[in-house]
Amino acid sequence: MTKTIPSQSSSLDDWLCYLESVHPANIEMGLERVATVANNIGLLNTSSKIILIGGTNGKGTTARCLESLLLAQGYRVGTYASPHLIRYNERVRVNGAELDDQYHVDAFNLLEQGRGDTPLTYFEYGTLGALAIFKRLEVDYVLLEVGLGGRFDATNIVTPYASIITTIDLDHKEYLGDTRELVAYDKAGIFRASTPAIIGDLNIPHTMTDYGKEINANMVLSGSDFIFKEHAQSFSWQFKEHNLELPKPAIPCQNVATALTALSVLNLLPSDEVITQCLVNLVVEGRFQQLSAEPLVYTDVAHNPESARYLATKLASYKDKGFKIHALAAMLADKDKVGVLKEVSDVVDEWSFASLEGPRGDSAANLHQALLSIPNSYFKQGYNSVEAALDTILPNQPSNTLLIVFGSFFTVAGAIHYFKK
């Protein structure tokens, strides 16, 4: 059956449905197809300087930090991130703001006319669409978040002005490998010869630095070239002549240190006053985001052991204030459930689980099964959905309890949507 191709006057929803239908494979690695289409319509010939951001966790927060610091200096900035929480438009920001649907429709229409017979995945359409928008709007800097891995990710068709690796941990094992060394090698694929490569991970696998040396990338390494230290209300960052004491931000200090180092390397670091102001105002959706004060509810996209470890530190600060922690988790089936639950189990007093819909969603029963392997964990109840869980939990939540809803972007989206009803 021939699928009806949307037009420039079609809605964004029509286009997104079409993109999902024409290439059912969610993830198909390789750069040849996407590079062919990009070259067909001249997307790679751009005056914008592109900063390519890879890593297991922290890409979104690092990009948001860079965006804030560049915008404060008057630059025009385009940011591409994935996945979105509520609506597709979240994936592309220009000067910190989402764009009207028509920009995306125009970009997809351009791609459809220029791709010929070349098939594209949903993510590849999105990546090329973002590049088309940034070129159209002539931004000074593009902050491009890698989707998965690095070496064969659609974003890696560009020639970066600099590359950043935030952190390295095990996720997407079926594509990237089951050791940090394999994951690191794949992510290092976004490095280029004689080009800055800033690495924020605190325990960098040798496979990443070996590859960087092999191609002669200008690597700047956390722990040796730049360092940061966290204190109760502040953190310090040192790199070359810089030695700053800064207010503790709402995002991981590690990612801020990486962002500051990248801007310093590129001679784009603003004044100390501007940095402080940006950090004080920095908020990223779905990253320990408060949804309600009474009852006290937070949500977080933590979905692998490393991000769960960071979430545990945030929860521990409330535990120290006398709060009990009730965790509502819902996850995708391909994630390391035991690893994630174990990282936060020491600070969680009681557990509830919810099932996630869709082909990749896992059931509350499977999460409960994973919890059984973790000693001294109290299971309260399982639910068919995040919404059903919140309907039951919130009316009965004591004032001395913090509810954390986490485990997936889908989980966070469900929680945010619930509180916006």
- Architecture label for domain 12-280: 3-Layer(aba) Sandwich (3.40)
pLDDT of 233 over the 90 cut: no
Taking residues 183-190, what's their average pLDDT?
92
Nearest to 105 by CA among 8, 3, 5: 8
- Reported confidence tier of residue 128, pLDDT bands at 50, 70, 90: very high
Asked whether the beta carbons of 415 and 386 are under 8 A apart, the reply is yes
Taking residues 344-357, what's their average pLDDT?
95
Residues of the chain with CATH 3.40.1190.10: 12-280
Calculate the average pLDDT of the chain: 92
Taking residues 193-199, what's their average pLDDT?
98
Count the helix, strand and coil residues of the chain and give each as a percent rounded to the nearest 5.
40, 20, 40
pTM: 0.86
Q: How does pLDDT run across 28-38, given as a tens digit for each residue?
A: 667 988 999 99
Q: What is the pLDDT of residue 150?
A: 86
- Reported confidence tier of residue 269, pLDDT bands at 50, 70, 90: very high
Q: Which of 19-28, 293-302, 377-386 has the lowest mean pLDDT?
A: 19-28
- Alpha carbon distance 397, 407 (integer Å): 20
- Alpha carbon distance 144, 58 (integer Å): 13
How far does Cα 77 stand from its chain's mean position?
Answer: 18
Q: What is the pLDDT of residue 2?
A: 47
Residue 420, C-beta contacts closer than 8 angstroms, at least 6 positions apart: none
Helix (H) or strand (E) holding 316: helix 305-319
In the block, residue with structure tokens 């990338």: 217
pLDDT of 89 over the 50 cut: yes
Q: What is the pLDDT of residue 270?
A: 96
Q: What is the pLDDT of residue 149?
A: 77
Taking residues 348-374, what's their average pLDDT?
93
**What is the CATH class of 289-420?**
alpha beta
Pairing of strands 242-247, 218-221: unpaired
The residue with greater pLDDT, 376 or 111, is 111
Residue 224, C-beta contacts closer than 8 angstroms, at least 6 positions apart: none
Tokens of 28: 């198909």
Q: Please give the sequence-ordered ranges of beta strands (E in DSSP) within 44-188, or none if there are none.
A: 49-54, 77-80, 92-94, 97-98, 141-145, 162-165
Q: What is the pLDDT of residue 83?
A: 87
Residues of the chain with CATH 3.90.190.20: 289-420
The share of the chain scoring above pLDDT 70, in percent, equals: 96
Taking residues 53-79, what's their average pLDDT?
95
Q: What is the pLDDT of residue 408?
A: 93
Q: What is the pLDDT of residue 1?
A: 38
Q: Which of 176-185, 217-226, 302-311, 314-323 has the lowest mean pLDDT?
A: 176-185
- Alpha carbon distance 404, 288 (integer Å): 9
Nearest to 259 by CA among 293, 232, 235, 289: 235
Tokens of 412: 């966070």
Asked whether the beta carbons of 409 and 360 are under 8 A apart, the reply is no
Please, how many CA atoms are within 13 Å of residue 168, restricted to the half-sphere of its CB? 28
